[in-house]
Structure 1
C-alpha cells in the first residue's frame, strides 16, 4: 500500500512531497518525490492524558467522534470508573475500547480511593497495580493524586511507585500548587509529569525539577493561554465533555495553540512524538517501523482533518466515518435509599440562636481550585438557611455505596436563584453531589438520579431535565451527539436558573475532590486541603 502527500517530519520541521509504503499496518519506507499534493500528512494525534468517563460516553462511543478530529491514540486513566467498580470497571473500559480502531492505551489508577477522606466503591492495591502494569495495554502508573501519601512515604503508595519502576513504566503526577521541599520529596520518587500547573511560575519550578509539563485544555481547566510559552512537553484534555468533544479534540488544541502564537511544528510535537516517546508508544512520527497512524490536514492553521488512517486502514475519509460503535451496558444500581427534604437540612447546634457563622466553599469559573470564606446565615426553625441574595447556596454529598450518609454544607459562586442541580459524577469517588436553593429541590434532584441509576439533573420552579448515566453512574452507551444535546439543554436550563458558570456540572463534579486546594466537601465532611484535615461547617452560632 502506497500513501502519497506532503509529509510533515517532526524531527527536522520539514514538509516535503513523498510516498509512504505500508505493510500490515506498519510504515516500511518513505520516499521523497517531485510531485504536487494538496494535503499535509502528519502523525496521528495523541491525547496523552484523558479520563474517557468525563465525556459521559463509553470508549467506543468516544471514538466515533474523536477519530473525525484526527485522534488516533489515547492514554486513558480509568480511575473514575475504578473508584466506582474497581477492577471490574477497568476491565469494562478495556473490553469496550477493543471494539474501536482508535489505539487505546491505559494508565493503572494509582489512587483508588483518592484519599482516606472520602468513601469510594472500591480499592486498587499494589498487588492489583502490578497485575495491570504487567500488561502491555498499561503504559504508565496513573496520576498520583495523593501527594501527601508520597511526601509522608506511605508504604502502600511507595510500593505502587516501585512497581512502576520495576516494569519501567512512567509515573504520572497530579500535584496542584505543590512547591518547595514538598515538591522535591514528591518528585524524588520518580514522578515525571504534571497536568495541574495553573501559572508559569508553578510550571517553571516543576520543569526545573525535571518534570514534564502537560498543558491542559479541557472542559473545566483552561491553561493553554497561560502556559503556551512554558517549555511544556504535551497538550492534553484531561476531562472533556461530550458537548465540547463534538466541537473538536486535539485538532482544536492545535488550532488554539497556533492562534496564540505557538509555532505549528512545536504544537504538533506536543501531541505526537513527545507523548509517543514518553509512553513508549510505537507511533508519533512518520518513520519506518512505526504504526501507520496518519492524518491528512489542509494546512497548519486550521488543521481541518480530511482523512484518518489507523494501523494502515482508512477510518475517516470525505467526511465519512467508516466505524460504528456497539457498546455494552453494565448493571450498576446505586446502593442508596430515596432521600427526604429533611435529609438536606443543616441543623443548628442550638435552635434558639438567630444566626450562625459557617465556613463556605468559594467557586471560580474555569478552575477546579476553590477558595474559602465565611458567611453569617440565619437560623429558622432550627435549620441554617442559605442566602440566595448573597449567592450562598446549600451543597450536599450523598454517599452511594451502602453507607447512606449525607453531609450538608455551603458554597458560593453557582448563582442559582431557584432550584437545584445534582450529579453522580463527583471526582473521584463519585458519590452524589447536589447544589440548590433549598432542601426540597435538592431531595427531588437526588431521587431522580437514584431512579436513573446515575446521571445529572436540573430542577427549577418551571422545568425539570435529566440525563441518565447508568454505566457506573458515569456514562451512557448512547451516541455522543445525543448525550451532548441533552447535556447542552441541561446547561441552558441551569443558566436560566441564574448560574453564570461556563460549565456548571463540571464545576460541581470537582467540589468533592479532596486533593485539589483549597476547600472541598466529601461524604465525610468539609475538608481543608491545604491543612489536610476536616474542619467544622458551623464555626459558631449567635
Structure 2
C-alpha cells in the first residue's frame, strides 16, 4: 500500500490518496484525508529513445535510469538493426529481459535508412510484419524515408500497411516537411514526429493531427524553442551516459516546468499520453493497470525518492535495487587497416573550391558551405585556421568502401577523432587535421572492436564499445568516465562542441538536411542525391 499526494492524470487533480496493489497490478485507488509531503505519480515513460545512443546495453541503461523514475521506454533499435538486423533486435530484447525496466520496441522501418549508404543488414517488409506480431513490438519505428512515402515506394508502403494490419501506430521522422508533402506523409498513416526544430513546424503538424514529441537529447535540445507551441510527448531520442547519470525523464519534467509548462500537463506527456498512443498498460494509476509508480518530493524539482515496477520496489533514493549482468556479443567488424593515402583528396590544380559540411552546435541538421583550399603534391589540404577539416566515412561490413570530404565546426587544431557510432548505418566516421592521424584513429578503432578514439601527438585515447560497435557492457559511470577523458582531450585539441562525438555521428545521417556524407560519397539531403566534393 502506498500513500501520498496523488497526481491524477485523468482529471488533473492532486489529492491525498491510498493505492492498493495486488499481484503486480493496482487493485484500488482511494482518496483519503491527511497531509503528505510526497507525491505519487505514474511511472515515467520515455516514448522515443534509441538505447544504443546511451552507449549502454539495455540492462545497463535500466540500471541507470530506473532510479530516476523511468519505468518504461519505447525504444527504436534501428541502430543495432542496421548493424546486425533482426539478430541485433533479439539481442536487445534478451538483454532487456534481465532487468525490471519495461522496454518496448518499435520495428525499425528503415534498415538501411537510405539506399545511399552501406549497412550491415536489410530488414524487409515481410520481416517487419513478423516483428510486429510480437506484443513487445508496439509500433513501426520512425519512418525516416519520407521521400519513399511521398514517392509511394512499394517496400516502404508495405511496411506501413503491416503496421496497420497489426493495429499498431507508425512513428514519423519528417524534418522541415510542410504543405502538400506533409499532408501526403500523414495521410499514409504516420502519426508522430520528433524532428521539429521550428515552432511553425509544430503548429502545422499538430493542426493536421500529428502527435508531436518535444525532444531534449544530448545533442538536439528543442524543448525551450518549442514548448510554447504545444506538444504531446517529451522524449530523449538520443542521450549520452554522462547526461543520464544526472537524470532522465525527471530532468526533462523539471526543465519543462521551469520553462512554464503546468506540472500536471508535463506529467501527462510522459505517462498517460504515450501509454494511450502505444496501447500500454502503463503510465496510469488506476485499477487494473500495472503498478508502475514513482514517489517524488515536489512538482518543481522532481527528485525521485522511490520507484515501483509491477508493484515491486526497484529503486530507492537514487539507487537501483536489482543486479545487472549484460549479455555479450560477437565482433561485427570486417575492415582492413588503412593507410594515410586512403584519406587524401586528389587535384591537379593549385587550389580548388570545395563543398563543405557545416556542423551546428546542438542540432542534427547541417548547413552547406564552401571553401577555397590549396593543393600540395596533388592533395587538397584542409584549412585548419578557418576550421575546414577532413572527414571520411569507411564502410565496415566487408565491402571496403570509403568516401572523403571536408567539414567545418569541430575546431580541431591537431589530431583526429573516430567513431563506429555513425547514424544510421554505423560505419566508421573520422574527422581530422591530417591523413596520418585519421588512419591511426581508424586502425585503433578496428583493433578495439568499435567505440570512440582520439589521436593526439601519437597518443591514443579510447572508449571501447564492443556490442555492435555501439554499446558497452560496463556501467554508466565507467563509460561516462572514459567519455569525459575523451572530451577533455578534445578540448586540448581545440574542439568546443558540447557533445563532439554525438555531433560527428550525425554527419553521416542522410535523412537530416542539408549536407551529409556516407561511405558512398557527399550527399545533398534536400536534393536526395550525391554531390561532388570539388565544385
TM-score range, shorter chain: over 0.9
How many angstroms does 1:73 deviate by? 0.3
Task: Report the 3-state secondary structure (helix = DSSP H, G, I; strand = E; otherwise coil) of the residue aligned with 1:143.
Answer: strand
Residue 432 (1) aligns with residue 428 (2)? yes
Partner of 2:122: 123
Q: Within 2, Cα distance between the matches of 1:57 and 1:448?
A: 21
Partner of 2:156: 157
Gaps of 5+ in 1: none
Q: Within 2, Cα distance between the matches of 1:433 and 1:346?
A: 16
Structure-to-structure mapping, 1:223-372, within 5 angstroms: 223-348=222-347, 350=348, 353-372=349-368
Partner of 1:408: 404
2:380 paired residue among 377, 384, 397:
384
Partner of 2:31: 32
Partner of 1:467: 463
How many angstroms does 1:324 deviate by? 1.6
Partner of 2:147: 148
How many angstroms does 1:510 deviate by? 0.3
Q: Within 2, Cα distance between the matches of 1:230 and 1:271?
A: 17
How many angstroms does 1:37 deviate by? 1.9
Q: Within 2, Cα distance between the matches of 1:167 and 1:333?
A: 32
Structure-to-structure mapping, 1:144-223, within 5 angstroms: 144-223=143-222
How many angstroms does 1:36 deviate by? 2.2
- Deviation string for 1:37-66 (max 9, x for gaps)? 221000000000000000001000000110
Structure-to-structure mapping, 1:519-538, within 5 angstroms: 519-538=515-534
Q: Within 1, Cα distance between the matches of 2:253 and 2:323?
A: 26
Structure-to-structure mapping, 1:99-110, within 5 angstroms: 99-110=98-109
- Deviation string for 1:458-492 (max 9, x for gaps)? 11127421011111000010111100110111111
How many angstroms does 1:185 deviate by? 1.3
Task: Report the 3-state secondary structure (helix = DSSP H, G, I; strand = E; otherwise coil) of the residue aligned with 2:228.
Answer: coil
Residue 499 (1) aligns with residue 498 (2)? no
The change in CA–CA distance for 1:201 and 1:536 in structure 2 (over 3 A counts) is same
Task: Report the 3-state secondary structure (helix = DSSP H, G, I; strand = E; otherwise coil) of the residue aligned with 1:359.
Answer: strand
- Deviation string for 1:330-358 (max 9, x for gaps)? 0124100000111111111x2xx211111
- Deviation string for 1:223-264 (max 9, x for gaps)? 000111222000000000111110110000011011111110
Q: Within 1, Cα distance between the matches of 2:179 and 2:15?
A: 46
The change in CA–CA distance for 1:484 and 1:221 in structure 2 (over 3 A counts) is same
How many angstroms does 1:163 deviate by? 0.6
Partner of 2:96: 97
Structure-to-structure mapping, 1:447-466, within 5 angstroms: 447-461=443-457, 463-466=459-462
Q: RMSD between aligned alpha carbons?
A: 0.8
Structure-1-length-normalised TM-score: 0.98
How many angstroms does 1:328 deviate by? 1.1
Q: Within 2, Cα distance between the matches of 1:181 and 1:13?
A: 37
Residue 78 (1) aligns with residue 77 (2)? yes
1:516 paired residue among 512, 517, 527:
512
Structure-2-length-normalised TM-score: 0.99
When structure 1 is superposed on structure 2, of 75-84 and 461-470 the one drifting more is 461-470
Q: Within 1, Cα distance between the matches of 2:280 and 2:228?
A: 26
Q: Within 1, Cα distance between the matches of 2:107 and 2:9?
A: 29
Q: Within 1, Cα distance between the matches of 2:447 and 2:318?
A: 39
Q: Within 2, Cα distance between the matches of 1:388 and 1:62?
A: 38
Task: Report the 3-state secondary structure (helix = DSSP H, G, I; strand = E; otherwise coil) of the residue aligned with 2:418.
Answer: strand
CA contact (8 A) 2:83 2:332 kept: no
The change in CA–CA distance for 1:249 and 1:318 in structure 2 (over 3 A counts) is closer
Large movers: runs of 4+ above 4 Å:
none
Q: Within 2, Cα distance between the matches of 1:492 and 1:276?
A: 40
Q: Within 1, Cα distance between the matches of 2:257 and 2:109?
A: 34
Q: Within 2, Cα distance between the matches of 1:319 and 1:218?
A: 21
Task: Report the 3-state secondary structure (helix = DSSP H, G, I; strand = E; otherwise coil) of the residue aligned with 1:115.
Answer: coil
When structure 1 is superposed on structure 2, of 235-244 and 14-23 the one drifting more is 14-23
Q: Within 1, Cα distance between the matches of 2:334 and 2:457?
A: 29
